[in-house]
């Protein structure tokens, strides 16, 4: 008798199963499948925007890291996943360009402050010194790098630094001076 229950018409079986599965409960596409399907396209897009294979690889990796961390929260529809990924990649590329622009601006400001001389030997020494400063800057914690960048790189007054960093002006002054002193100490230690 139990086998007779399984012999219902196909229409009835399909209808019964559709009642038990809600369309919103359809499991999302595994992220690994999304990665396999879109990683080359995202890489090519990043390469076209950055013109640097290593930077494009980094941007692609960042794109998929951001997408993975947001995937369960955003739950994009399968037809919208590709556009969603390209929006993320566009933002990652913009962030990369912003960082590069800030770095060039800081390097220019540092070069002007040091007063580049035309002597090749002096230029080589200046380049080494500049690299020491950049290496020491990279070793600072992010908050201190930001303070140094706002003060030395952008030349902002302490009142504006305070507003950007959500602190009072005196705290901004003290924290910035401490960060600059740590930078000076680190550069001196690298000699």
155, 185: one domain:
yes
User: Are 130 and 114 a contacting pair, CB within 8 Å?
Assistant: yes
Q: Is residue 74 a part of any domain in this protein?
A: yes
Element (H, E) at 179: helix 169-189
Could you list the residue range(s) of the whole structural domain that residue 126 is in? Answer: 118-189
Q: Is residue 17 a part of any domain in this protein?
A: no
Q: Which two tokens stand for residue 45?
A: 């897009």
CA distance 147 to 154: 10
SS3 label, residue 161: helix
Beta strands in 47-189 (DSSP E): none
Domain boundary among 115, 146, 176: 115
129, 185: one domain:
yes
pLDDT in tens, 30-73: 889 999 999 999 999 988 888 888 999 999 999 999 999 998 88
39, 110: one domain:
yes
Domain boundary among 97, 115, 133: 115
pLDDT in tens, 136-185: 888 888 888 888 887 887 777 898 888 888 999 999 999 999 999 998 89
The CATH number that applies at residue 136 is 1.10.10.10
Domain boundary among 81, 115, 149: 115
User: Would you state the pLDDT for residue 122?
Assistant: 67
Q: What is the pTM of this model?
A: 0.46
pLDDT in tens, 99-112: 888 888 877 777 76
Question: Who has greater pLDDT, 155 or 81?
Answer: 81
65, 127: one domain:
no
Phi, psi of 66 (to 5 degrees): -65, -40
DSSP-derived letter for residue 119 is -
Who's near 156: CB < 8 A, 6+ residues apart? 150, 164
145, 109: one domain:
no
47, 83: one domain:
yes
CA 105, 106, 107, 110 dihedral sign is positive
């Amino acid at each position: 008798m139990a086998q007779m229950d399984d012999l219902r018409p196909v229409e009835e079986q399909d209808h019964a199963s559709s009642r038990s599965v809600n369309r919103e409960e359809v499991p999302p596409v595994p992220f690994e499948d999304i990665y396999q399907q879109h990683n080359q396209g995202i890489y090519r897009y990043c390469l076209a925007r950055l013109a640097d294979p290593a930077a494009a690889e980094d941007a692609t990796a960042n794109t998929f890291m951001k997408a993975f961390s947001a995937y369960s929260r955003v739950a994009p529809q399968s037809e919208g996943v590709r556009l969603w990924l390209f929006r993320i990649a566009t933002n990652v590329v913009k962030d990369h360009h912003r960082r590069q622009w800030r770095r060039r601006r800081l390097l220019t400001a540092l070069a002007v402050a040091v007063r580049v001389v035309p002597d090749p030997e002096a230029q080589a020494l200046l380049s080494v010194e500049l690299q020491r400063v950049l290496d020491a800057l990279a070793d600072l914690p992010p908050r201190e790098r930001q303070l140094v960048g706002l003060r030395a790189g952008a030349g902002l007054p302490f009142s504006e630094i305070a507003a950007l960093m959500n602190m009072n002006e005196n705290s901004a002054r003290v924290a910035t001076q401490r960060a600059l002193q740590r930078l000076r100490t680190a550069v001196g230690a690298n000699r």
